[in-house]
């Protein structure tokens, strides 16, 4: 028994044409399964489990890459072979993927509807566990000048950012702004606090001659546009 060799289960023992990294380099990343892509980030397995085996367990728990983002570290503790460095690599890759979606925006792109705003920002905002407020600054032709994150927290907390929002609008020579924030609860209907916050931004914008065009709430259920519902005159 002592002389029996251990059966190798690591990816290095696989035929070369079946190894994820080699497959990616030879055939392209689009040919790999989700587990294989994740395994490349994990790199190494543990005794009895390859990186692909670990990846499959992760996908079995979270179901999709989206569900892995913004998760508490405690959600990852059950996976043997995943240290802080590997978890950080996975989370970094997910964040890069989300940011790529924003990079596709041409800064001279015109915003003509709430749906265009949602298609741009929903992929990054729908899975956040806290409310995040973003402001889109537009020029006289409704072209995007910049998109900034003004803070996290509740609408009450966001009210303190109003001065910063309009200060930045004046610095950018923005003619109008659109506010976007997420509802982690999933319900995208506005609260009374949301309505009050929108009215404050509208009043401040009118005073400073910076038009407040819309307040859009996004969630997994969809979106709610104050402008589309006639709540911004």
Name the residue with tokens 């401040």: 204
Mean pLDDT of 229-233: 86
Tokens of 40: 């490349």
Whose CA is closest to 144, among 105, 185, 183, 88?
105
pLDDT band of 212, cuts 50, 70, 90: very high
Minimum mean pLDDT range among 9-18, 32-41, 150-159: 150-159
Minimum mean pLDDT range among 90-94, 138-142, 213-217: 90-94
pLDDT band of 117, cuts 50, 70, 90: very high
pLDDT at 150 exceeding the cut of 90: no
At 25-62, the pLDDT tens digits run 988 888 889 999 999 999 888 888 899 999 999 999 98
pLDDT band of 131, cuts 50, 70, 90: confident
Minimum mean pLDDT range among 25-39, 148-162, 164-178, 181-195: 148-162
Tell me how far apart the alpha carbons of residues 11 and 51 are, in angstroms, rounded to a whole number: 7
* Per-residue confidence (pLDDT) for residue 1, from 0 to 100: 43
* Per-residue confidence (pLDDT) for residue 105, from 0 to 100: 56
pLDDT band of 223, cuts 50, 70, 90: very high
pTM of the model: 0.62
pLDDT band of 152, cuts 50, 70, 90: low
Contact status, residue 112 vs residue 144, Cβ threshold 8 Å? no
pLDDT band of 98, cuts 50, 70, 90: confident
| 219, β-bridge pairs | 222
pLDDT band of 102, cuts 50, 70, 90: low
pLDDT at 113 exceeding the cut of 60: yes
Q: What is the percent of the chain with per-residue pLDDT over 90, rounded to a whole number?
A: 38
The CA–CA distances, whole Å, from 70 to 10, 62, 121, 134, 186 equal 30, 12, 16, 18, 15
């Amino acid at each position: 028994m002592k002389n029996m060799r251990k059966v190798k289960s690591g990816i290095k023992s696989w035929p070369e044409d079946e190894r994820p990294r080699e497959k990616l380099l030879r055939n392209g990343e689009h040919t790999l399964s989700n587990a294989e892509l994740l395994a490349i980030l994990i790199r190494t397995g543990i005794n009895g489990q390859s990186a692909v085996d670990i990846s499959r367990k992760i996908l079995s728990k979270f179901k999709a890459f989206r569900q892995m983002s913004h998760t508490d570290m405690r959600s990852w503790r059950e996976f043997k072979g995943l240290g802080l460095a590997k978890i950080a690599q996975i989370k970094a890759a997910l964040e890069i993927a989300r940011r790529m979606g924003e990079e596709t925006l041409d800064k001279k792109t015109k915003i003509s509807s709430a749906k265009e705003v949602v298609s741009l920002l929903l992929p990054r905002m729908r899975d956040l566990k806290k409310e995040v407020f973003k402001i889109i600054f537009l020029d006289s032709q409704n072209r995007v000048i910049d998109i900034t994150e003004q803070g996290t927290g509740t609408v009450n907390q966001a009210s303190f950012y109003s001065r910063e929002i309009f200060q930045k609008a004046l610095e950018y020579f923005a003619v109008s702004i659109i506010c976007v924030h997420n509802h982690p609860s999933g319900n995208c209907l506005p609260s009374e606090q949301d309505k009050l916050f929108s009215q404050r931004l509208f009043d401040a914008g009118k005073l400073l001659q910076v038009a407040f065009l819309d307040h859009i709430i996004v969630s997994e259920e969809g979106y709610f546009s104050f402008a589309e519902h006639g709540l911004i005159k």
